[in-house]
Structures are given as structure tokens and as C-alpha cells.
A = this chain, B = another copy of it.
Amino acid sequence: MGAVKTKRMPRAVREQQMLDAAVRTFGQRGYMAASMDEIAELAGVSKPLVYLYLNSKEDLFTACIRREAAALTAAVRAGVHPELAADRQLWDGLRAFFTHTAQNPDGWSVLHLQARTHGEPFASEVAAMRAEIVAFVTELILAAAREAHRDPDLPEREVAGLAEALVGAAESLAAWANATPGVTETEAAATLMNFAWSGLGNLMAGRPWTPPEAAAQTSG
């Protein structure tokens, strides 16, 4: 299972191997239950080397959070085209998000579960990433208002709350989609777009949100 034990590799490569092993271990066992022994073994190096490169368990975990957070935001960013309409941007972003979390369950576990569960300094580390995403969504909501030629009288805090709600819904649906067999990322994204854009009231009235023509959207 562990990486093939090759000697004398450049530091950057070794570090990535260690982070790979750490993300996998932290994601599956949890922060506290993961042992440095297991991580070192999975990485195919000795424990002192892990300490030499990454200082401590806390630092290692923080490095994992940062790497996975960067990977997630990069994936979302790569999926979104800022010149398109707001709902299209949200649609693309959600698909990228669901795809990335489905393909990186351990990284997503680190970000969504482990980091938030084990207090400072980890919680604020991941909170920063989340704030970035919430800000992005907030921007989209405001852009949608502008596109509707309507200066929203929604107070700023209300918009922030809506963005929070949308992000929370997305997080929840990511877990649901991963746990429910047969649910695709596209389906999860469509469900959320319907929910967010049309509202349940409109859905009940038979006015769902209409997905854009399925332009090829090869993420990552």
C-alpha cells in the first residue's frame, strides 16, 4: 500500500508523499486517532524524516488542510468561467465542487470533518477557505441581482446568510451524493440549483430552474 521505498529523493517529492499519506490517514482515522507511525510507514519513510520536514503533528495536519483547501478552491475556480451568467457560474462551480469532493474523499474529510472538529488552529484554517467560497457565492448572488436589473434591497447580512445557506446545502449534498449509490455530481448540482434558484415554492408551482445546455464541462 505504501509508496515504493525509493531512497534519496528530492525534498519536494518526499514532502508530497508524506502529505499524501497524511491526508489519507487523517481522513480515514481522524486527526487524533492517526498516528505518526502509521503516516510515516504509509509514506515509506522513517518517522524522524517526517519530523525533519514537517516539524510536528499539528504542522503536518495544517499543511494537509492548506494543500487540500488550495486544491478544492482551485478545482472550483477552474470550473467557473467569470464571463458567463451568474446562475451558469454557480452551476459550473457546484459541479466542480461535487466532482472534486467525490474524487478526493479523504481530503474532503480532512477539510469538512476533521479540521472543524479539532479546534484551533485548524478550525480557523479551514474557515478561511470556507469564507473565500462564501464570498464567491455572495458575489454571484449580487451579480444575479444586477443581471435582473434590480438593486437588491436585501441587507448585506441577509445576503451573507443566503450564501451560508447555499454553501451548507452544498456540503450536505456532497455527503448525500457520496453516500447514496447512483447519484451523480450533475444530479446533485441540479437538485441544489433547483432548490437555490427557484425555491421550493416555485418548484411546487411547476416552475423549476432550467439547467443550461449541457456544454462539455471537463473539470480538472
Residue positions of A touching B, CB distance < 8 A: 29-30, 32-33, 113-114, 116-119, 141, 144-145, 148, 150, 152, 154, 157-158, 160-162, 164-173, 176, 180, 183, 187-188, 191-192, 194-206, 209
Contact = CB atoms under 8 A, between A and B. Distances in A.
Contact of A199 (B119, B145, B202): B202
A7 B182 CA distance: 57
Most chain B C-beta atoms within 10 Å of own C-beta, residue among A141, A169, A171, A202:
A169
A157 B171 contact: no
Nearest to A182: B157
Nearest to A140: B200
The 7 lowest CB-CB distance pairs between A and B, nearest first, are: A168-B172, A199-B199, A32-B32, A161-B191, A165-B169, A198-B199, A169-B169
B154 A203 contact: yes
A27 to B, nearest CB: 11
Contact of A117 (B113, B150, B183, B196): B113
B183 A173 contact: no
A169 B191 CA distance: 13
Nearest to A172: B168
B196 A118 contact: no
Contacts of A150: 204-206
Contacts of A157: 180, 183
Contacts of A148: 204-205
Contacts of A162: 191, 194-195, 200, 203
A199 B204 contact: no
B176 A172 contact: no
A118 B109 CA distance: 11
A192 B162 CA distance: 7
12 contacts: A30-B32, A113-B117, A154-B203, A158-B191, A161-B176, A164-B169, A165-B169, A168-B172, A197-B201, A199-B200, A201-B209, A202-B202
A117 B30 CA distance: 7
